Structure 1
Amino acid sequence: MSRLRAALDPKSIAIIGASDNPNKVGGRPVHFLGKFGFKGKIYPINPTRPEIQGHKSYASLQDLPEAPEMVIVAVAGDNAIAAVEDCAAAGVKVAVVMASGFGEVDQIAGKAKERRMVEAARKAGMRIVGPNSQGLANFGTGAIASFSTMFVEMEPAAANAKGHVAMLSQSGALSTVPVGFLRQRGIAVRHTHATGNDSDITVGELACAVAEDPEVKLMLLYLESIPDKAYLEELAAIALDRDLPIIALKSGRTEAGKAAAQSHTGALANEDRVVDAFFEHHGIWRAPDMRGLVEATELYLKGWKPQGRRLVAISNSGAVCVLTADAATQVGMPMAKLASETDAKLKSILPGFATTTNPIDLTAALLSNSALFGDILPVIAKDPAADAFLIGVPVAGPGYDVPAFSRDTAAFAEQTGKPVVVAATQPSVAQVFAANGTSVFPTEVEAVSALHQFLAHHELMFRARSRRATRPPSEALITPRAETLMLNEADSLALLSSRGVPVVPHRLCLSRSEAVAAFTLIDGPVVVKGCSADIAHKSELGLVRLGVTSADATGAIYTEMEQIIAKAGARFDGVIVAAMAGGRREMMIGAHRDPVFGPVVVIGDGGKYVEVFRDTKLLLPPFAAADVHDALKGLRIAPLFAGAHGEPPMDVDAFVEAVVRVGEIMRDESAGVVSIDLNPVMLGSAGEGCVVVDAVVFHGA
């Protein structure tokens, strides 16, 4: 926290616009600082009152006995700007600006006002949080520089409990709403910060500082925009080094959501699939909604080190067993196949009508023999195939020894050191399990969902850590050139070939006689295509002819295409005569430079319907062959690669190598490539390779 210590652990705090009313924006921070045990100095500033909430009040910043490390600016409009300028002149280290009405509502005048504040701060070495910030709250130190209503409901004892979760948000409400959910589950939060418009200190920069707090074991983020990837990349590196999981909820998945974010915080909309790829690349779990942001929180705080995702389910209900298996299968958690020794021991313990294969159905026998739970758990604990466990208790009560079930489950979790969750619908039953430290969910679907997230996120972090260890770090973002030029197809193919990407055998012909000669050299049916740096979509103008079978036809087509291009008013760069390339599947490789995230490579099913079916995956360079293989497994067409209905497998390795080469081109600034569109890339059977038959490359001017 050293870089932003004054924002997270200030020794003194002044409140400009302080109020004696604890329910006003200027009164809340004064109240909270006292309520939650802030040990530093508190300086309310209000020229109309000699005392505010038991603290001596000062008429102005200049009247304070010292320059406070932090100032909360709780006045509106232009008064806030003047207050920030006063803070900068006085030697304040951090100003938390709560005023709204800036860039979030006016992209021109509002942003100009923000820039005025930031420029004044930077000249003096001061930092700004906000504007439009609900404030910062560090419950570890009691530095609650916030006006959140959520904290009114929190008791000091609960807030000061040892919390290990940090919540950071660009939105004020979304910095505290998750805190309410977590409090309901008895989970304390250490940090909850809202950065507002991110005019200076961004949510990413603040998160980097918070991630250095050794007491933080889980970080939650709410983002409406990612204007700069650098701090998030640094945050991810810190988190991977610390084994600190990060869960991010990024809004604006839809066009309507992007528009709402724009009006909310003045956020820049990010292309959503690129955001997905960025988070995955860096080991950050992207939550789909608020529930996904918080539902698995307590699992992350258990200290478990999972080794896989094979699940064992145990219940006294056959229906719960079936539903658990369904839910696990849908999220990609295989049901563990227990060893024959385990099955034999279970059969010796359970009645004959119970099910000993996984999922294990104890049936109603549990009602007459509550010891069954304690008897079978130690047996299952020894099975090496089990990575995680779900215990379903949909109905229990009088006649069931629920306290014994709970104790046995807690002991089982302690013995295995593996993830264990319980699904218990009845609150009375759930409370007994929770009292013994077991993670309890109302239904098996919710339990499986949380368990899947925890296990899959652990795997995601492992892959990101391995990628970081074996691949060079991402370079500084290469700013796309203001102007770009499309290369003609011959030049595009030549560039790709020079970088090791396999391209179809072809000849660029600048005369009819050359076209005729090219047909003879290629020796077989050919493809004839008009070549022009002004025409990207040749088929629409009739500039692609397939299966040409004679030299005379090739010459005639040359003349025809020369005329078509001239009529279109485009440059004539010649005619390409290429071999007819066969293959098993039309694939595609695309790439472009995102203005925020840099190079992005898209791979997937190709052909003319690529934009209809959109069976593609994104990768962010640098990546290796293993990353491409993992991405291909996520395509809907993935089962075809191994061969179907007796067909031989396809040459996936060759396609993967071509993708890696494209990624290298996009990382190489000297190549000057802005975008690449390769479709189709013909993929053959194993050993036959792949070949690019159509290419469009845009180059920086």
Structure 2
Amino acid sequence: MAPSTASTAPLSSICQPLLYPRSIALVGASDDVGKTGGRPLQFLRRLGFKGTIYPINPHRAGVQGEKAWPSLSALPEVPEHVFVLSPTDSVVPTVRECADLGVKLVTILASGFSETGAEGVQREAALRTIAKDSGMRILGPSSLGVVNPGNGLMLTANAAFAEPDMPRGNVFVASHSGSMIGALVSRGKARGVGFAGLVSVGSEVDLGIGEICLATLDDPAIEGYVLFLESLRHGDAIQAFAREAAKRGKPVVAYKLGRSSAAAEMAMTHTGALAGEDDIADAFLKDLGVVRVEMLETLFEVFPLARKIPLARQGGKRVGVVTTTGGGAAMVVDQLGIRDVTVQPVSPETLVKLQAAGIPGSAGRVLDLTLAGTRYEVMKKALDILLEAPEFDLVVAVVGSSARFNPDLAVKPIIDSAGHAKPLLAMLVPDAPQALAQLTQAQIPCFRSPEACADAIASVFARRMPGTQAAVRAPGDPARLAALSEARAYELLDTLQVPHAPAVTFDIATPPATLPFDYPVVAKLCSAQIPHKTEVGGVVLGIQDAQQLSEAFATLRRNLHERAPGMECSEVLVQPMRRGLAEVLVGYRVDADAGPVIMLAAGGIWAEVMRDRSIRLAPVSVQRARDMIGEVKMLQTVSGLRGKPRGDLEALAQAIASLSQLALQPALQVSEAEVNPLMVMPEGQGVMAVDALIMKA
């Protein structure tokens, strides 16, 4: 089936040969359908691919009953898409021949490239050079191919596609893992879920997930995306795709490996150590409007919900639950609570309407209809009232055993309520495949477990509309980053309008007789070569007068000589001692994959102990900074609860937003910037940085 003619946008130069090639060559096609090299031809014929297929095998005149060609150059035309099935050693010459002939796109099945050592790195570099010099695009290496059920393109060696009756759908799958595209198809088929296309990107020597998905956004057959990510390689392309998908209202769902912490132990700043790889990936995906799910099973169940709650209109997060089984509903409520999603009780006004309608059961945290809810008219009336109730933004119907034994009775009222503007979900407690199939066909989000149900709801609620895009990408070589002295760091904070404590510098050999501010003060070594002053005894606190200040200078000179020999330091920075209601860390960092990020965390000595933090892509608005403040639990102590003093959280939000503006100033070449601690003063008195570390490329 060709792409719909309803769209006036032409298919991109990548999408057309990738998903809609008019001709294909299979280099290394085997006569044995049981072998990897024999599967693609068999699959293409079985699914009814209408384009021209050229099996290439120099050792056979025929392959699987069809004519085999000795080489690509012997073909009567230049194929648009070439699938290289031959061994690793033959790949580079074959790809070079494709480029010379003018092939548009090459997919490489073989592995044995950068993951195998120096020789493999050279092979990969050769492929990259061929792509760059010729303009031909390369998918792989280690790609298991690409599938488009709409036109019979089953260009894959994945044995999982030997299964007949490939289901069609409107979701495009892009995966780092080749085996996962087969697993997703088989799992989706069991749920009655089909796909608009699937692609295994492999090593991404040229084409990556982001660029492929971006190139398919104008394909009218594709209404949304599922990504299986092992990393954020080519994060800039993923970001470009996600931003465009958000503009077009096409939902993107992602499952990413790497939930465990991978913090950089040798990071120069606390920000680098606290913001682990997965923490940044999580912020990256959610800030781009991507639904990041925790469970593989949720990939199949969340898409209808993501489409029902468009990102541009995402608002309230109040969940109502109606059930025929109290135990099943309790599991859903519990799993939602673990994910910080609160189930809203039925309001008194709604309860009056339920009673007037003769709805039996009890209404507490959930509306429990008991066994009476298995009757169509009871469940339907209850759903009608709950879907109109203003206290709910989303309603979950939890159905017990009747879903398995009487699916028409249990499921029909849910299906008949699907047209309401408010999202309606179903969670079936028993194993009820018939009911699930009916709900899936009706495009109602339906779940087989409370965990998947809660995961889907929390994941959709957690995504955010993309904000301002950063202007910088390269973080700079970590080995070449240079720190600014604290005094120079304050000068940069001044340009960003981030408040800091007053500071003056003096020659390390000459303590001052007078200061422009009152005692007590702190004295610190001030040198770009000593970014972590406390580690060398470079900080003296609580200095009460000029005599103690003179003694502090002597202490700093001695510690410099004994603990940091050879380090250049000619200045001491002096500041007045300040105490706030709370201490926080605000850190900025350019991540190699995600780009600029901003982090707010519990500060001072607690930064790495508590790991209480919030991360966003930079830059952030003041409103997004307010959201970050709400996520740091320590700051609840200064939010005015129970009569406690309230900190100046609005000034903190402004400071976070201001520091994040580094993302829009590439000329400053700042790779990392950290204020720790930033003192949060009482409300109306602002915030104040009392230490800063800035690393420049």
Q: Same fold (TM over 0.5)?
A: yes
The correspondence of residues 318-357 of structure 1 with structure 2, limited to 5 A, is 318-350=326-358, 354-357=361-364
The correspondence of residues 93-242 of structure 1 with structure 2, limited to 5 A, is 93-106=104-117, 108-155=118-165, 158-159=166-167, 161=168, 163-242=169-248
- Alpha carbon RMSD of aligned pairs, Å? 2.8
Aligned AA for 1:447? C
SS at match of 1:501: coil
1:220 and 1:605 map into 2 onto residues whose CA distance is 35
SS at match of 1:329: helix
In the alignment, what sits opposite 1:79? Answer: 90
Cα deviation code 1:147-186 (max 9, x no counterpart) = 111110132xx43x4x111111122112221222111110
In the alignment, what sits opposite 1:261? Answer: none
After TM superposition, the score normalised by the length of structure 1 is: 0.89
In the TM superposition, residue 658 of structure 1 has moved relative to its aligned partner by 1.7
1:124 and 1:98 map into 2 onto residues whose CA distance is 21
Aligned AA for 1:392? V
* Alpha-carbon spacing, 1:122–1:250, altered in 2? closer, same or farther (3 Å): same
The answer to whether the 8 Å contact 2:323/2:373 transfers is: no
In the TM superposition, residue 357 of structure 1 has moved relative to its aligned partner by 4.3
In the TM superposition, residue 593 of structure 1 has moved relative to its aligned partner by 2.6
In the alignment, what sits opposite 1:477? Answer: 473
In the TM superposition, residue 511 of structure 1 has moved relative to its aligned partner by 6.3
The answer to whether the 8 Å contact 1:425/1:443 transfers is: no
In the alignment, what sits opposite 1:361? Answer: 368
* Alpha-carbon spacing, 1:318–1:119, altered in 2? closer, same or farther (3 Å): closer
SS at match of 1:602: strand
The answer to whether the 8 Å contact 1:675/1:697 transfers is: yes
Aligned AA for 1:212? D
In the TM superposition, residue 309 of structure 1 has moved relative to its aligned partner by 2.7
SS at match of 1:552: helix
In the alignment, what sits opposite 1:308? Answer: 316
In the alignment, what sits opposite 1:505? Answer: 502
> Pick from 378, 397, 400: which aligns with 1:391?
397
The answer to whether the 8 Å contact 1:166/1:218 transfers is: yes
1:612 and 1:298 map into 2 onto residues whose CA distance is 40
> Pick from 413, 417, 427: which aligns with 2:418?
413
1:257 and 1:496 map into 2 onto residues whose CA distance is 26
User: 1:626 aligned to 2:623?
Assistant: yes
In the alignment, what sits opposite 1:430? Answer: 435
The answer to whether the 8 Å contact 1:58/1:64 transfers is: yes
2:345 and 2:261 map into 1 onto residues whose CA distance is 45
Aligned AA for 2:439? A
The answer to whether the 8 Å contact 1:150/1:180 transfers is: yes
* Alpha-carbon spacing, 1:321–1:573, altered in 2? closer, same or farther (3 Å): same
* Alpha-carbon spacing, 1:57–1:226, altered in 2? closer, same or farther (3 Å): same
SS at match of 2:114: coil
Stretch deviating more after TM superposition (418-427 or 507-516): 507-516
Cα deviation code 1:200-219 (max 9, x no counterpart) = 11222112122332221221
Cα deviation code 1:386-439 (max 9, x no counterpart) = 2222222222389x8652332222112224553232324142773585387244
In the TM superposition, residue 513 of structure 1 has moved relative to its aligned partner by 6.1
* Alpha-carbon spacing, 1:300–1:36, altered in 2? closer, same or farther (3 Å): farther
* Alpha-carbon spacing, 1:109–1:254, altered in 2? closer, same or farther (3 Å): farther
* Alpha-carbon spacing, 1:394–1:289, altered in 2? closer, same or farther (3 Å): closer
* Alpha-carbon spacing, 1:525–1:295, altered in 2? closer, same or farther (3 Å): same
Aligned AA for 2:339? V
* Alpha-carbon spacing, 1:550–1:431, altered in 2? closer, same or farther (3 Å): closer
In the alignment, what sits opposite 2:59? Answer: 48
> Pick from 3, 16, 35: which aligns with 1:24?
35
* Alpha-carbon spacing, 1:300–1:37, altered in 2? closer, same or farther (3 Å): farther
1:680 and 1:152 map into 2 onto residues whose CA distance is 60
Instruction: For structure 2, list consecutive stretches of 5 or more residues without a partner in the other structure.
Output: 1-10, 265-274
Matched positions, count? 670
> Pick from 71, 80, 84: which aligns with 1:69?
80
Aligned AA for 2:674? D
Query: Equivalent pairs: percent with the same residue?
Result: 28
2:314 and 2:551 map into 1 onto residues whose CA distance is 67
In the alignment, what sits opposite 1:265? Answer: none
In the TM superposition, residue 239 of structure 1 has moved relative to its aligned partner by 0.4
In the alignment, what sits opposite 1:560? Answer: 555
2:293 and 2:667 map into 1 onto residues whose CA distance is 37
The answer to whether the 8 Å contact 1:349/1:375 transfers is: yes
* Alpha-carbon spacing, 1:60–1:533, altered in 2? closer, same or farther (3 Å): closer
2:373 and 2:134 map into 1 onto residues whose CA distance is 71
In the TM superposition, residue 517 of structure 1 has moved relative to its aligned partner by 0.8
* Alpha-carbon spacing, 1:340–1:590, altered in 2? closer, same or farther (3 Å): closer
Instruction: For structure 1, list consecutive stretches of 5 or more residues without a partner in the other structure.
Output: 259-268
In the alignment, what sits opposite 2:612? Answer: 615
SS at match of 1:609: helix
Stretch deviating more after TM superposition (109-118 or 314-323): 314-323
Cα deviation code 1:633-653 (max 9, x no counterpart) = 222224223124421211011
User: 1:37 aligned to 2:48?
Assistant: yes
SS at match of 1:622: coil
SS at match of 1:412: coil
> Pick from 651, 655, 661: which aligns with 1:664?
661
Stretch deviating more after TM superposition (665-674 or 632-641): 665-674
The answer to whether the 8 Å contact 2:639/2:645 transfers is: yes
SS at match of 2:54: strand
* Alpha-carbon spacing, 1:620–1:421, altered in 2? closer, same or farther (3 Å): same
The correspondence of residues 246-645 of structure 1 with structure 2, limited to 5 A, is 246-254=252-260, 271-300=277-306, 307-350=315-358, 354-366=361-373, 371-396=377-402, 402-427=407-432, 430=435, 434=439, 437=442, 438-454=444-460, 456=461, 460-461=463-464, 463-464=465-466, 467=467, 471=468, 473-478=469-474, 480=476, 483-510=480-507, 515-518=512-515, 521-567=516-562, 568-569=564-565, 570-645=567-642
Cα deviation code 1:284-303 (max 9, x no counterpart) = 22233423433423434668
2:242 and 2:437 map into 1 onto residues whose CA distance is 38
2:276 and 2:642 map into 1 onto residues whose CA distance is 42
2:620 and 2:496 map into 1 onto residues whose CA distance is 16
SS at match of 2:671: strand
* Alpha-carbon spacing, 1:10–1:184, altered in 2? closer, same or farther (3 Å): same
The answer to whether the 8 Å contact 2:294/2:455 transfers is: no
Aligned AA for 1:406? V
Cα deviation code 1:561-612 (max 9, x no counterpart) = 2343244333232222211111111111222332333333222110113112
SS at match of 2:416: helix
